[in-house]
Structure 1
C-alpha cells in the first residue's frame, strides 16, 4: 500500500479574519489534494503578523509532508509572507533576480511604472524556487516542503495546477455513503462500537434535513476495499437490526 501523504494549509490575511474577504481557496485545495491521495489534515487562518505566520509554518511543516500558504505576497506594506517564511527557515529574504526581471518586463509591456511597491513581489527566501503565475506574472515560491501562493482564487488555482503534478502522492481514500432514516441519537452508540471494531476505517455521520424530515448520512472511508466492505456490512447490519426493533 502507498504511504500516507499529509498536508496543511496556512491562510494569511487580516481581511479573512475580519470577514471582509471570504476564503475560496480551502475547499479547492481540499478537492485537489483528495483527488491525488494527499490528506489535508489542518487549516490555520492567521493575521498579517510575522510571529503568527512563522509559528504556524514551522509547526505545520514539521508534522506534514507539505504545507501550502495563501495570501500576503502582493505589493503592499502588509504583504509580509515572504519575510515570515524566510524567518521560519532562517534565511535572508531579498529580491530574486529572475522574478525581478519577469516583473520588470511585464510592467514595461503594459506601460506601467515598476515602482518600489511592485518590486516587493519579487522578494522571496534565499534558495526558493519559483511557482509560475500564468495570470499576473508575479511568482509564488517553494522552499523545503512549503509552497507559498497568492490569495486571489484564480491565481491560487493556476499556481496549484502547476504544483500538484510535482507532489508525492499517497493511497487514495475510498468512500461509501449509507442513508439512515434513524437520527444520530439512535445510531450514535452502535456506530461508535462499529468504529472501534473497524479501526482502519473512518466512519462519520452527518444529519440531513430534506422534504420536511430529518435523516442521517453515514459515510465510511478507507484505503482498502476489504476494510471498506467489512465496515459497510457492519453498518448495514446495525441499521437493519435497529429498524426491525422500531
Structure 2
C-alpha cells in the first residue's frame, strides 16, 4: 500500500459569545475546508470560554496531538481578550508589547488614535512569529505549532491566507459522491455498504441522508488520499447502488 504524507490539525474556537449562542460561528467550516484543500486534515474541533485555565488546557492537549492547532478569537483590545496571555502561559514564555506589532499599529493609526486598549493587540508571546493582517493591521501570531488568529471571519480568512503557505502540508483528501436517488434510504443500503467499507479499508465511506422536494435521499461519500483506492471503492458503491435500485424496481 502506498504511504501518503498526513498532516493533521485541530481547530480551537475561543469565546464566551460562541458558547452562549450570541455569536454564530462562521470559522470552523471555512478553516476545515481550506485546510483540506491544501492537504492538512482537520481532526478535532473544540470550543472553550474566555477562561485562561480552559484555554491553556485545550492548547496543551491539542498541540501535543496534532501537527497544528488553528485558534480563533480573543486577541482584540478589550479586557476579555485573553488568548495571547493564555498562549504565553501554555508555552511557559513571557508576553509584552512586541516592537514589530507596535510598529504595524503605529503605521495604521493616526496620532492620538493608538490608545492603550488598541496597544493591547500588540502584546505577543515571546518568540512568536507574527501573522500578517492586511484588513485591520493588528497581527495574529504563531507560537510553536499553534496559529492564533482573529475571530472576525473576514480578518481570520486573510490571516489564514498569510500563514498557510508557510506550513507543512500533506497529500490532499479526494472525495467522490454517489447519489442513489430519491427513495433509497440508508436502511436499504446499510448492509452492502458495510461490506464494501470492510473490503476497502484504505478509504472512508460515509452515508448522509437528507430530505428534498421529492422526498428523502442518501448521498454516499468516498474519501481517501489514494486516487486508485478511491476510484475502486466508488465503482463498488455504484455497482451496489444499481443492484439495490434494480431490486426495488423489480
Provide structure 1 residue ranges, at least 5 long, that are not aligned to the other structure: none
Cα separation, 2, equivalents of 1:234 and 1:67: 36
- Give, in angstroms, the shift of residue 49 of structure 1: 0.5
Shift of 1:211: 2.5
**How many residue pairs get matched?**
244
- Corresponding residue for residue 130 of structure 1: 130
Q: 1:233 to 1:113 in 2, by over 3 A?
A: closer
1:163 aligns with 2:159: no
Q: Any residues of structure 2 matched to 1:53-202 within 5 Å, and which? A: 53-107=55-109, 109=110, 111-181=111-181, 182-202=184-204
Q: Which 4+ stretches in 1 moved above 4 angstroms? A: none
TM-score relative to the length of structure 2: 0.93
- Cα distance between partner residues in 2 of 1:220 and 1:193: 14
CA distances 1:70-95 after superposition (whole Å, capped 9, x unpaired): 11001111000001111111111211
1:35 aligned partner: 37
Query: How far is 1:29 from its partner?
Result: 0.9
Return the match for 1:221 from 207, 223, 230: 223
| Structure 2: runs of 5+ lacking an equivalent | none
TM (norm. structure 1) is: 0.94
CA shift in 2, pair 1:175/1:105, >3 Å: closer
User: Helix, strand or coil for the counterpart of 2:23?
Assistant: coil
